[in-house]
Structure 1
Amino acid sequence: MSPLPPAPHPQTLEECWAVIDALWARVHQLEARVEELERRLGQNSQNSSRPPSTDPLGLRRPPKRPPSGRKPGGQPGHEGHQRALVPADQVTSSTECYPDECERCAHKLDPRRNREVGEPLHHQVTEIPEVTPQVADYLRHALECSCGHVTLAPLPAGVPAGAFGPRLQATIAWLSGTCRLGKRIIASVLADLFRVEIGLGSVTACEQRASDAVAAPVVEAHAALQEQPVLHADETGWRQRRQRAWLWVAVSVTLCVAVFQVHWGRGKKAAQELLGRFAGWLVTDRWCAYEHHPLDRRQLCWAHLLRHFRAMKEYRGTVGRLGAELVTLSERMFRWWHRVRDGTLTRAAFRRKMAPLRERVEWLILDGTRTRVKAVRAMCWELHRLSDAMWTFIDVEGIDPTNNAAERAVRAAVLWRKCSYGTHSEAGGVFAGRMLTVTASLRMQGRNVLDYLTQAVEASLRGQPAPSLLPGRDHVMPLAAAA
């Protein structure tokens, strides 16, 4: 630390007042600096955009509901829930069990002489069979023609040129893209569970073939997404070739489809590539890349706004009071909205309640543009400019005030990024986007991901149209397949 400069020694009253004024200004400057540093130090997932994984260990989260006082687990007297019985046509073996003697008097019992009481009690035991891989050996004979040319027999239609069948290729893609396992772990799983030895390069090759097999369905899903009335969009950080990239997602709740794309940028160009010709209602956060979409067709995420208001609340003075009231009004709005969703509050009553609340929130935001804190002023000016996009959900049915649909979809991608450090090539980025699209869409629809991937790889080997990702459609339309 450098030594302190010598203290001033004023000689006159005017010089004393000048020193006092300078010190007073410096105190205010340092107080503002300390307040800003304390605010940054106190940032967490509840008052900023930081993820919950970065929260400090001592952070106390507000309980969602008060404790009930009951012990964990089943409560005395509660109705029991048993595992559902497997249908008889799916049972592989059945064994009849009869008692040999009476429990009370030890008398011998015989089902041919003693009366049976009631129906037998089923006790089903499910077991996984030991897996033995099926290896098909195709002996390609070579025959010499009378002209002297030797012809090697081609493989039958649908037989892969590589060493692994369609279900094994699909399983590798599923372990990688859905279960988020690394290539060495995938090789270990295949060896331990299925007794299949495979190299790391073969794992990558199988991933690529599965990626190619679902290319047309992903294109079709992306095109269908752009025709929907409402979309949720979000973006998160990604790593590609050890460099900063971005993963974008667009979700349609009504269509039950989510499309992911890895892009080098986070700007307008990437957003336009994701949204394409979409002209409906767009639910997002305040990120500027979405501003090419008309403001009157947007809805800002109130979960993000609530976090910003909580950050304002932690300031002292006027800013803190404004933030506290904005938090109160936002939480009140969410309570009313939850009642609208569960049917205990009508839309008309909700609109009437929201009219004065909206007016008050907009007044508080406008008041925030005159505060002394630069960051708060800037945020309030931006909210004032985007105010029309804050209230779309009040009048337009089918629009949610939060972007939870997109944030839920992107959560699996964040977990993949954290355990794999992203992708290492352009092809890997395409594979990640396609597999995330397939997994998220099929899970929203309640369809089996592994079965779908197997069907897609089989169709690719046979030169047939791939199964569609869209609900209610069997195969990809020819136009999407050509794209």
Structure 2
Amino acid sequence: MEENSLTYAIEISSWDWEKTPASVKQLVERMRQEKKESEQRLADLEAKYQELLEKINRTSKNSSSAPSTDPASAPKQQKKKKSGFGRGGQPGHKGQSRLLYEESECNSVIDHQPKVCKCCGEKLKGVDSNPYRHQIVEIPPINPIVVEHRLHQLECWHCGTLTRASLPADVPARGYGVRVVALVAVLSGLYRHSTRMVQSAMLSIFEIRMSLGTVNKLRFEASDAVESAVLEAKTYVQNAAVVGADETSFCQGNVDGCNAKNSQAWLWVAVTPLVTFFQITLTRCTDAAKNLLGENFSGILNSDRYSAYNWVDTQQRQLCWAHLKRELIKISERPGVSSNIGNTLIQQLEKLFALWYQVRDGTLSRDEFPQLVAPIRSSIISCLQEAADYEIGSQEKTPLAKTVRTCRQLLKVEPALWLFVTVADVEPTNNAAERAIRPAVIWRRTSFGSQTTAGSHFVLLMLTVVTTLKSQRRNVLEFMTQAISAKRQGQPTPSLLPQVPAPAVAVKNAA
């Protein structure tokens, strides 16, 4: 029975109510209270149902979950329509062929000349100045180069003391050369091999025997060799004009006693076009973000909306629209008003990116872009404000309440959504940082993280070195060899910073 009907039936008039027996009054009050409690329980159950429904329907499209975690029931990506063309290169496509080594790089060159004509059998004459080149690449048998140093011990004729010779200064005390140490580091850091896999590869491919403990010692030697270069890279990134940042969970054990609370470790990345820096911490707080970017960071930060970056002014931030799109899809999948709000915002987002693709492809000028974005921005702000104006309780957990809170949060950081419109080198998404952190995620999954602080330190150093060198198209093994050699000889470590090409030297009339 509705409350109004109940009131009408019993509270016909104030005089009747006053004459109503106390027992009836108590019954009515109890019924009112029970009805109110039932309505509250129903609202709580509805909110819980919507919360569980969101969890069940969570996919990579409406959350930060990886595509590999999508349930089987998740809608699959629409397949592209068949073009009607056959497989392979199409007419007009510039083909790709095998790259040949220069003649100076060949160990030998063998010329083959035909003897007679394939048509009539007569002898041939002339010289072919442009013969067809066919190269065979082979790897010679790999045998380690072993140099034995024998330290003799001789007796003094005067006092009888035994004296043993010492190793020369240029001979390392460790029993492995710089290229072996560099190779162990590359197998671990670039190809993400485990300790046993590195041990197996060194034996089966290079016939070099080493224990598991030796593999770790060589890794730590490699870490020491690139330490200063990585610190230099960190300074470079912190002073860059535009930096992309992201973070992901990482596992660090307590074998060395440095993680007694078994805290969750976090791997952070800061990305620039040519230099990338990684760090691993036992916290995901603001202090870790400041250590990554530098407390005096003055560049532009491209990141998601994680609160640890909120100390950076909104005028210096570009929030990731890819993350925002997933949030809007989640809102659009909620019932009622939330669905309308989410769909409206997604429509404006699609208009925005249609323009952005034209700018990226060169079909729309940068000067026209801000003018065309202005009405889209105004529509998005209006929609967010309309949603934020809904009255909700502080503890309310309904789908609409979640939508309203999200829209209010977006309004606070709204200026940080549009920096890419006016600054040429800023991207609207944080894809660069997410691509950079992907190898680290694979490393974490295959190795289950690290067991010590030193192990985590090796991971962050090698990730920094490998990612930076790959972005500059430099050889990782060559760099590691140079760094380890320099460390053993007490020389400066080679730099990870972009190499400035030497200025061209003018050559006077050579003729």
For 1:38, the equivalent position in structure 2 comes to 53
Q: 1:102 to 1:153 in 2, by over 3 A?
A: same
TM-score w.r.t. length of structure 1: 0.88
Task: After TM superposition, give the deviation of residue 150 of structure 1 in Å.
Answer: 4.1
Contact 1:158 1:458 in 2 (8 A): no
Which amino acid in 2 is paired with 1:461?
R
Q: 3-state SS of the aligned residue for 1:272?
A: helix
Instruction: Give deviations 1:50-105, integer Å, cap 9, x for gaps.
Output: 12221123434434854424344445886643212210001112222234565446
Moved more, 377-386 or 257-266: 377-386
Q: Does 1:257 align with 2:275?
A: yes
Which amino acid in 2 is paired with 1:233?
A
For 1:477, the equivalent position in structure 2 comes to none
| Partner Cα distance (1:212, 1:364) in 2 | 54
Instruction: Give deviations 1:328-387, integer Å, cap 9, x for gaps.
Output: 211221221222222221122110011111111111122232455232222211111111
Task: After TM superposition, give the deviation of residue 31 of structure 1 in Å.
Answer: 3.8
Task: After TM superposition, give the deviation of residue 142 of structure 1 in Å.
Answer: 3.3
Q: 1:261 to 1:44 in 2, by over 3 A?
A: same
| Partner Cα distance (2:75, 2:492) in 1 | 53
Matches within 5 A, 1:263-274: 263-274=281-292
Matches within 5 A, 1:335-346: 335-346=354-365
**Equivalent residue in structure 1 for 2:444, among 396, 400, 417:** 417
Moved more, 55-64 or 78-87: 55-64
**Equivalent residue in structure 1 for 2:107, among 76, 82, 92:** 92
Task: After TM superposition, give the deviation of residue 20 of structure 1 in Å.
Answer: 8.0
For 1:132, the equivalent position in structure 2 comes to 143
Q: Does 1:459 align with 2:492?
A: no
| Partner Cα distance (1:452, 1:363) in 2 | 54
Moved more, 157-166 or 38-47: 157-166
**Equivalent residue in structure 1 for 2:240, among 228, 239, 242:** 228
**Equivalent residue in structure 2 for 1:237, among 223, 240, 249:** 249
| Partner Cα distance (1:266, 1:59) in 2 | 31
Contact 2:351 2:376 in 1 (8 A): no
Matches within 5 A, 1:330-409: 330-370=349-389, 373-409=400-436
| Partner Cα distance (2:79, 2:496) in 1 | 36
| Partner Cα distance (1:63, 1:384) in 2 | 33
Task: After TM superposition, give the deviation of residue 301 of structure 1 in Å.
Answer: 0.9
For 1:202, the equivalent position in structure 2 comes to 214
Task: After TM superposition, give the deviation of residue 24 of structure 1 in Å.
Answer: 6.5
| Partner Cα distance (1:116, 1:395) in 2 | 62
Gaps in structure 2 of 5+ consecutive residues = 1-5, 11-27, 255-261, 391-397, 502-511
Q: 1:360 to 1:77 in 2, by over 3 A?
A: closer
TM-score w.r.t. length of structure 2: 0.83
**Equivalent residue in structure 2 for 1:68, among 83, 99, 124:** 83
Q: Does 1:214 align with 2:229?
A: no
| Partner Cα distance (1:280, 1:193) in 2 | 47
Instruction: Give deviations 1:115-143, integer Å, cap 9, x for gaps.
Output: 45663211111112221111111122334
Q: 1:78 to 1:209 in 2, by over 3 A?
A: same
Matches within 5 A, 1:262-341: 262-276=280-294, 277-341=296-360
Task: After TM superposition, give the deviation of residue 160 of structure 1 in Å.
Answer: 2.1
Which amino acid in 2 is paired with 1:59?
A
| Partner Cα distance (2:36, 2:449) in 1 | 55
Instruction: Give deviations 1:268-310, integer Å, cap 9, x for gaps.
Output: 1111111113221111111111111222211111111011011
For 2:164, the equivalent position in structure 1 comes to 152
Contact 1:249 1:258 in 2 (8 A): yes
Which amino acid in 1 is paired with 2:147?
A
Instruction: Give deviations 1:377-422, integer Å, cap 9, x for gaps.
Output: 2221111111121112222232111111111111110000000000
Which amino acid in 2 is paired with 1:389?
A
Task: After TM superposition, give the deviation of residue 311 of structure 1 in Å.
Answer: 0.8
Contact 1:250 1:258 in 2 (8 A): yes
Moved more, 152-161 or 213-222: 152-161
| Partner Cα distance (1:13, 1:26) in 2 | 26
For 1:120, the equivalent position in structure 2 comes to 131
**Equivalent residue in structure 1 for 2:458, among 415, 421, 431:** 431
Q: 1:199 to 1:13 in 2, by over 3 A?
A: farther
| Partner Cα distance (1:141, 1:63) in 2 | 75
Instruction: Give deviations 1:430-464, integer Å, cap 9, x for gaps.
Output: 11010000001001111011110011011111111
Q: 3-state SS of the aligned residue for 2:251?
A: strand
For 2:499, the equivalent position in structure 1 comes to 472
Task: After TM superposition, give the deviation of residue 43 of structure 1 in Å.
Answer: 0.8
| Partner Cα distance (1:408, 1:80) in 2 | 28
| Partner Cα distance (2:374, 2:200) in 1 | 60
Which amino acid in 2 is paired with 1:469?
L
Query: Which protein is bigger by CA-based radius of gyration?
Result: 2
**Equivalent residue in structure 1 for 2:267, among 241, 247, 253:** 247
Q: 1:186 to 1:332 in 2, by over 3 A?
A: same
Task: After TM superposition, give the deviation of residue 22 of structure 1 in Å.
Answer: 7.0
Q: How many residues align?
A: 458
For 2:507, the equivalent position in structure 1 comes to none
Q: 1:13 to 1:140 in 2, by over 3 A?
A: farther
For 2:98, the equivalent position in structure 1 comes to 83
Task: After TM superposition, give the deviation of residue 214 of structure 1 in Å.
Answer: 0.1
Contact 1:452 1:467 in 2 (8 A): yes
Q: 1:158 to 1:366 in 2, by over 3 A?
A: farther
| Partner Cα distance (2:243, 2:425) in 1 | 10
For 1:481, the equivalent position in structure 2 comes to none
Q: 3-state SS of the aligned residue for 1:174?
A: helix
Instruction: Give deviations 1:140-173, integer Å, cap 9, x for gaps.
Output: 2334455655443332334221111111111101
| Partner Cα distance (1:271, 1:121) in 2 | 58
Q: Does 1:47 align with 2:62?
A: yes
| Partner Cα distance (2:49, 2:275) in 1 | 47
